């Protein structure tokens, strides 16, 4: 039956023996080389799960990346995360960025203190940011409440310029989109009830 259904059965093994604890609820995961970053929605933090000398994986107790006061900014509940290549606001190495629901952006990397900032608000203001994506030297934020994907261009490793509309010649209904991915001018949209749509931005 597996051959008829084109099914290949895999031997799945837990990444962390014993799990991350009953109080952890993983909302998103991100792979960065040998490391795995997990967004824990219960404590609104990003966990780093790294390989130990024995070859197993364990949570890094020294990794700092959570909501709350960070420098002169206060980061709210984290909703999504991505990977920013270096150089960036934290230095030459790659960094994890996490977004909150008000446009707050948290930069984190192993061995350094986190850095926080706020993304410049779009011309319609933030309504309901839900997800972010990083592609090349741009950061994209999905705001279903504003029916828009906002595009931020990096400058010196930071995002200090106001965003632009991703779609300019067409309009899509993004009101029930919960996640998205972006590459080469195409956007994959995951709607609330499981429907997937692929949108192409017309060439300018």
- Taking a C-beta distance cutoff of 8 angstroms, is the pair 158, 143 a contact? no
The span from the CA of 80 to the CA of 87, in Å, is 21
pLDDT in tens, 138-186: 999 999 999 999 999 998 778 999 999 998 877 888 999 999 999 887 8
The span from the CA of 180 to the CA of 193, in Å, is 14
Per-residue confidence (pLDDT) for residue 115, from 0 to 100? 95
* Token pair recorded at residue 89: 């606001």
* Token pair recorded at residue 7: 């099914």
- Taking a C-beta distance cutoff of 8 angstroms, is the pair 47, 37 a contact? yes
Contacts of 36 (CB under 8 A, 6+ apart): 15, 29, 30, 48, 49, 50, 57
pLDDT in tens, 6-47: 999 998 888 998 889 889 999 999 999 899 999 999 999 999
Q: What is the pTM of this model?
A: 0.88
On the 0-12 / 13-18 / 19+ scale of CB atoms within 10 A, 152 is buried
User: How many residues in total does the chain contain?
Assistant: 204
């Amino acid at each position: 039956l597996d051959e008829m259904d084109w099914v290949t059965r895999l031997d799945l093994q837990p990444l962390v023996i014993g799990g991350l604890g009953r109080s952890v609820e993983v909302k998103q995961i991100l792979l960065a080389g040998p490391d795995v970053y997990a967004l824990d929605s219960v404590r609104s933090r990003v966990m780093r799960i790294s390989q130990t000398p024995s070859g197993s994986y364990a949570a890094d107790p020294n990794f700092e990346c959570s909501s709350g006061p960070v420098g002169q900014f206060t980061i709210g509940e984290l909703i999504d995360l991505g990977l920013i290549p270096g150089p960036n606001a934290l230095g030459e190495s790659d960094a994890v960025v996490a977004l909150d629901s008000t446009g707050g952006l948290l930069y984190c990397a192993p061995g350094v203190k986190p850095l926080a900032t706020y993304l410049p608000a779009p011309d319609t203001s933030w309504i309901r940011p839900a997800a972010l994506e990083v592609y090349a030297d741009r950061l994209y934020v999905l705001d279903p409440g504003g029916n828009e994907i906002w595009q931020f261009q990096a400058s010196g490793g930071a995002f200090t310029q106001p965003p632009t509309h991703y779609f300019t010649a067409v309009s899509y209904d993004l009101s029930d989109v919960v996640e998205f991915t972006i590459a080469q001018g195409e956007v994959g949209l995951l709607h609330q009830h499981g429907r997937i749509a692929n949108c192409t931005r017309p060439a300018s």
